[in-house]
Amino acid sequence: MKRLKRAMAIGMLGSLIVLGLAGHASASRKTVPQQLQSMQADARQQKATNDLKASASKIVDLLAKGKFAEVTKKFDSRMKQGLSTEKLKQTWQAVVAEVGPYKRQVSSRIEKVQQYDVVSVTCEFAKAKLDIQVTFDRSQKIAGLHLIPPNQSMKDTYQPPAYVKRDSFEEQAVTIGSGSAAVSGVLTLPRGEGPFPAVVLVQGSGPHDRDETIGPNKPFRDLAWGLSSQGIAVLRYDKRTLIHPEQFNGNFTVKEEVTDDAIAAIALLRQTKSIRPDQIFLLGHSLGGMLAPRIAQQDSALAGLIILAGNTRPFEDLFVAQSIYLASLREKMTSREKQAISTFKQQAERIKSRGLAKAPPTEILLGAPPSYWLDLRTYNQREVAKNLKQPMLILQGERDYQVTLEDFRGWQKSLADHKNATLKTYPTLNHLFMPGTGKSNPTEYQTPNHIDEAVVNDIASWVKQREGSQEPGARSQEEKGDGVKR
């Protein structure tokens, strides 16, 4: 029996096998009564389907309105034991903090899974679309509730960009960590004689897969395949919040969410014969970029850091700024958007308050417990980066509305006297380092695209210039005149 894995899980269905139901048409001709009976059966089935879809739609409405107690009343006995009203509320708030305020239902579909009816309601949030899957048992009690990106159940339609040379590398499955915290990953290795320099990829916030998939786009696969096409090995892996969401129900910090697995991935590469142990680099995107200096602080043997859209402003301030930006894309701000902005501001103020240290561990602020925010208070990425000896490459898309040029200027100011920091911006690129025009918005992420070739080339060139360096931070004369913005 296969367990159904979900990006964001609220409750579990248990061990199920999804059954493909293949219908067939009868070869015999039906009599009029038989035709009538068939039509009546079809009508009953259609009514049952419509009723289930309507019930699922109502559940979504209740979630959106914050009426969580009314939702849990409809749970079966096992769901009631595993998911309290308060836990459901916290989970919903975490989802909204990640993908923005709920906006509307787009469509719904139904499928049969053993004795269960699973209704998937595709919903639009401010930053992305999610499928809210409501699973009903035979008595129409809720036996499961899940939130997943709608593309996760779809066939992988990824087409590599032109700069990828698919026959120039191979991929090997790996495991990062051990025991109950282990996650799966893949090492992309160039063909030919090694050992090779290598890059570990660290995702942004949220339960990302190894490709950092968003909509049809896979920016980390673009990076891995693009860099390996130029002779650089790349290790990427599924994020622990995706594979083990049940481990993040209580107190946790970025240590459990990000840094532990990054350190384990680096250690794994050092034990890999085809990798140069002195030429292992860390590439962090968004939250991963913000935490890159902390990871380097823990592992001084890293050959260098590559920070893509890493924020220098406090994390909680980004939530507020993003919500205001998204609301500004409309001619008139809706009351729901005003309320969402007000909520984000209140929670950001709570995170900054002295009273947070005495907050109960069950309190959820912007999708995380107090322990998460208290830990980040002790970390100043700009100050840590300033004191690192490793070379750094900091890249920023100028159309990025999630991490902006204001954050990039923070890096510029802090690293102005750092001899081994290279900073560069790209006028047409968004948060995913994919090209576009005009103001960036979340719908952009749903259009198939790829990381710009210039970004891949710049990273590959920067890594290769360090292959001959004996000390972390040695900078080639050639790089000094590369015209990057500092």
315 within 8 A of 254, measured Cβ to Cβ? no
CA atoms of 326 and 431, how far apart (whole Å): 14
Taken in order 78, 84, 85, 90, is the CA torsion positive or negative? negative
The closest of 133, 135, 130, 132 to 150, measured between CA atoms, is: 130
294 within 8 A of 379, measured Cβ to Cβ? yes
Residue of 400, 407, 452, 458 marked catalytic: 400
Residue of 431, 440, 452, 458 marked catalytic: 431
16 within 8 A of 114, measured Cβ to Cβ? yes
Residue 181 burial (CB count, 10 A):
15
CA atoms of 348 and 365, how far apart (whole Å): 8
In the residue annotation, 261 being an active-site residue is answered as no
Residue holding tokens 């001084």?
A: 300
In the residue annotation, 208 being an active-site residue is answered as no
Residue 249 burial (CB count, 10 A):
12
CA atoms of 445 and 74, how far apart (whole Å): 35
Residue 395 burial (CB count, 10 A):
26
Residue of 286, 323, 414, 440 marked catalytic: 286
Amino acid identity, position 60: V
Reading the block at residue 169, the tokens are 């590398």
- Is the previous residue joined to 195 through a cis bond, with omega within 30 degrees of 0? yes
Give the burial string for 326-356 (b: 16+ CB within 10 Å, else e). bbeeeeeeeeebeebbebbbebbebbeeeeb
In the residue annotation, 335 being an active-site residue is answered as no
Supply the residues annotated as catalytic: 286, 400, 431
